[in-house]
Amino acid sequence: MPEKVPAQSANTPNAQTQAHAHAHVNTKKIGAVLGKNSVPIFFLLLSIGGIIAAGLDINYLINELLGRLGRNSFLVLSLLIPIIAGLGLNFGIVVGAMAGQAALIITTHYGWTGLGGFGLAALISVPIAMVLGWLTALVLNKAKGREMVTGMILGFFANGVYQLVFLVLLGWVIPMKNPAIMLPSGIGLKNTIDLFDISYALDRGLDFIWDGFIMTEVGSIPIGPWRIPILTLVVTALLAWAISFLIRTRLGQQMRAVGQDMHIAEVAGINVNRTRTVALVISTVLAAWGQLIFLQNIGTMNTYNSHEQVGTFAIAALLVGGATTRKATIWNAIVGVLLFHTLFIVSPLAGQKLLGIPQVGEYFRVFLAYGVIAVALALHAWQAKVKSNKELRGE
C-alpha cells in the first residue's frame, strides 16, 4: 500500500517562503508605481497641505481650477508633439504665443468682435506661426541634442524682434493709426491693450440677447456654485482627440520612431529633419491658438510681457503631471494643469496665513513659478539614475 503524503500546511517552510516571495513582489510593484508617479504625488501632497494651511473654501478652489483648466490646457497640450518627436520640452512655444498676439493686435486694430473676431485671429495666426515654426525648426535641426536650451535662447531672440516690430517699427515704418492701442507719439503700441471686443469669446460662445440683456451664454454653464467653461473645454478635448489620432497615423509613427532613435529612423528611410520640422510647426500653431484662448479669458493683453512666461508655466505644469523630457501623455498634461494651478492658487494664501506677511504670497508665486521646474527635473533625474542602476544590476 503506497505511503500517504501529508498535505502541506500553511505553516510549512515552503509555504512561508512562497508567501514572503509574493509579499516581496507586491512591495516591489507598489514601489515601482510610487517611484514612477513620485512627481505628481509630491505635488499632490503639497497641494493638500497648502489647502489645509490656507483653510480654503473648496467651492472657490474648484471654480478657479475650472477656469484655469479651460484657459491653460490648450497651451500645455501643444508641448506633446515635439516631445513625441524627440525634441524635448519646447521652450520655443513663446514664438507661437507671439504669433497669436500679433494676430490679436490686427483684429483689435480693425475692430473685429466676438466669436467671429476670435476665429479670424486664429486664422491670421496660422501663417505667422507656420513661418516662425519653420524658422525655429531650421535652427533646432542644427542643434540636435541641445534643443531645449537652444529653444529658450531662440525665445529671447524672438522677443527682441517682436519688441522691435511693435515698439519701434509700428507707426513709423509699418503704417498704423489707432489711438486706442498706439502710444501718444504715434509710434509703438501701448503696454496694455484692452481685448474687450473678443474677451470671453469662447467662454460666452453665442450669446442670446433680448432687449440689451444677455439671456443665455452657450459657451459656459453654471452648475451650483461653479461655472463651467464648456465650449473652451470642448475645444481642448478636440485637441486631445486630434493628438491621440495623429499618434496613430503614419506621420505619428514616424515621429515616434524619430523620438526613440534618430539614427535608426534615418536608416529606416524616414526623413528625420522633415519630421521634426512638421512637429515643431504643428506645436507652434497650437501654441498660437493656446495663447488666443488664454488671452480672451483674461480680457487684456500685456503687449510686451504676456508671452514671456508661457513656456515656463506650460512646461512646469507638464512636468508636475509626471511627464519627462522624452515621454508625455495627454493625462500628464491635464493632471499637471490641475496640480500646478492648485498650488498657484493655494500657495500665496497659505504663505500669507502661516507667516502673516502680505508680501509672502508674491514670494510664494515667484518661488512656485521658477522652482517647480527645478524640483520636477531633479526628481526625474533621480528616477532616471535609479532606473539606470537597476539595469546595470540586471534587475
CATH number (1.10.3470, 1.20.1070, 3.10.620, 1.10.10) of 58-306 reads: 1.10.3470
Asked whether 343 and 367 are in contact (CB, 8 A), the reply is no
SS3 content of the chain, % helix, strand, coil (to 5): 70, 5, 25
**Model pTM score:** 0.85
Cell numbers standing for residue 66: 475650472
For each of the chain's 395 residues, which pLDDT tens digit applies?
A: 455 555 555 556 565 666 565 555 566 667 666 767 787 888 888 888 888 888 888 999 999 999 899 999 999 999 999 999 999 888 889 999 999 999 999 999 998 988 889 999 999 999 999 999 999 999 999 998 888 889 989 999 999 999 999 999 999 999 988 898 999 998 999 999 998 888 888 877 655 444 444 445 566 777 778 888 888 999 999 999 999 999 999 999 999 999 988 999 999 999 999 999 999 999 999 999 999 999 999 989 999 998 988 988 898 889 888 888 888 999 999 999 999 888 888 877 877 777 776 566 667 666 766 676 777 667 666 766 777 777 677 66
Cell numbers standing for residue 54: 490656507
What Cα–Cα distance (Å) separates residue 310 from each residue in 8, 16, 219, 242?
Answer: 65, 57, 24, 22
Angle, helices 358-393 vs 310-320, to 10°: value is 50
The reported pLDDT for the residue numbered 363 is: 73
What residue spans define the domains of the chain?
58-306
Asked whether 152 and 88 are in contact (CB, 8 A), the reply is no
The reported pLDDT for the residue numbered 230 is: 87
Cell numbers standing for residue 275: 519630421
Query: Could you identify the residue written with the cell 532613435?
Result: 261
Amino acid identity, residue 136? Answer: T
The reported pLDDT for the residue numbered 213 is: 47
Say how far apart CA 46 and CA 59 lie, in whole Å: 19
